[in-house]
Amino acid sequence: MPLSRPAKLGSFLRAWLCALALGAVAAPAATLVQLSLNQMAQQSTAVVRASVVSSSASFTGSTIYTHYKLKVTETWKGTAPAEVVVPGGVANGYRQSFPGAPLLQPGTEYVLFLWTSKAGITHVMGLTQGLFNLAAPAGGALQATRVPAGETMLDAAGRQVQDHGLQMGLAELKAAVAQALGAAAGSLQ
């Protein structure tokens, strides 16, 4: 195998990475579009650090939403909502299950990138993309962790990418959000 092949291959892949047409990707179906941290910060209506106080489920129209009451400790953008909803749950003797929908744990602390619809319903951005668990390893600083999404994602240009999850310190995350919003890190609440 000629040594030049990797270089030649590199040009192939660079071309691919730079100019991928959506329709030509014969990978069928995706339910998520990958959002960068910048995009989540800019497109969200609110970004908060909060812990989940309680949860309940109820029907809105024909969809069951699980409502998570939040205790907000920091608001990095917008107005902190009292709750966030996730599709699915158990209500009135019925269960709705949507693979991919996250489950928030009461008592757990998160950073949440939120989006409120015209109907006034507040969702987590990108189903799970806007959900960062906060936990401190033994004796260490708080880490914000977002697990990889199961569904393959397309980026904003329709190119297929893989989500490898994110982990960073809380302070680092806060600084990144501030930068995305064009604000000084210390100015975020």
Partner 1 sequence: MSGMRRIFAVAAGLFAAALPGAAYYHFVHYLNAGNAVEKFDLNALPGQTVTFFVSESDPTVYSANDSFNSVLSQIRQATAVWNGVASSSLRVAFGGLENGSTLQNTPAADVVFEDLPPGLLGYGGPTSKASPVTGPGGTFIPIARSAVHLNRNLTLAPGPSYLETFFMTTVHEMGHALGLQHTFTSSTMSQATTRATTMSHPIDADDIAGLTVLYPAASASQLGSITGRITAGGQGVHLASVVAIRGGAGAVSGVTNPDGTYRIDNVPPGPYFVYVHTMPPDANICGPWNDANGGSAAQQDGCSSTSGNTVAPSGPVNSLFYPGTTNFTQAQAVSVQAGQTVTGVNIATAARAAVSVYDAGVYSYFANNTITVKPAAVNMNAGTGLVVASAAGLGANGQSPGLGVSVIGGSVTILPNGIQPYQATINGVPYTYVALYLGFAPGAQTGSQHMIFNTPNYMYVLPAGMYLTVKPPPAIAAATPNGDGTATITGTNWAADTQIYFDGLRATILSLNAAAGVAIVQPPAGASGQQSTLTAYNSDGQNSQFLQSASPVVYSYPNAPSPSVVSVSPASLPAGAEAAVTITVAGMTLTPGATVAGFGTSDIVVRSVFVTGANQLVANVSVAPGAALSNPDISIFSGFQLATATAGFQITPAVNGLPAAIPVLTNATPGLTGAYAGATVTVNGSNLSTANQALLVQVGGQFASVISASATQMTLQLPATLPPGPTTLAIYHGVLNAFPVEVNIDTPPATISAVQNANGAAVDALHAALQGAPLTISLAGFAPPTASIGTGNVQVSLGGVIFTPSQVVASGSQWQVTFVPDGTAPVGQAEQLIVYLNGRSSLPVSLPMALPNGTFTVSTGQ
Residues 39-98 that bind partner 1 (CB under 8 A): 39-40, 43-44, 55-57, 61-64, 66, 86-90, 93-98
Does residue 10 interact with partner 1 by CB under 8 A? yes
Location of structure tokens 């962790």: 145
> Quick one: which segment of 70-78, 116-124, 136-144, 172-180 binds partner 1 (CB under 8 A)?
116-124
Residue closer to partner 1 (CB basis): 124 or 170? 124
Site for partner 1 in 150-189 (CB under 8 A): 150-152, 154-155, 158, 160-165
Write the CB contacts of 35 (distance below 8 Å, at least 6 apart in sequence).
43, 125, 126, 129, 130
**Residue 128 Cβ vs partner 1, minimum distance, rounded to whole Å:** 6
Counting residues that bind partner 1 (by CB under 8 A) gives 88
Write the CB contacts of 122 (distance below 8 Å, at least 6 apart in sequence).
45, 46, 81, 83, 84, 85, 114, 115, 116
What's the CA gap between 60 and 104, in Å, rounded?
19
> Quick one: which segment of 37-45, 72-80, 172-180, 181-189 binds partner 1 (CB under 8 A)?
37-45
Chosen residue from 11, 120, 139, 182 binding partner 1 by CB under 8 A: 11
> Quick one: which segment of 72-80, 136-144, 147-155, 175-183 binds partner 1 (CB under 8 A)?
147-155
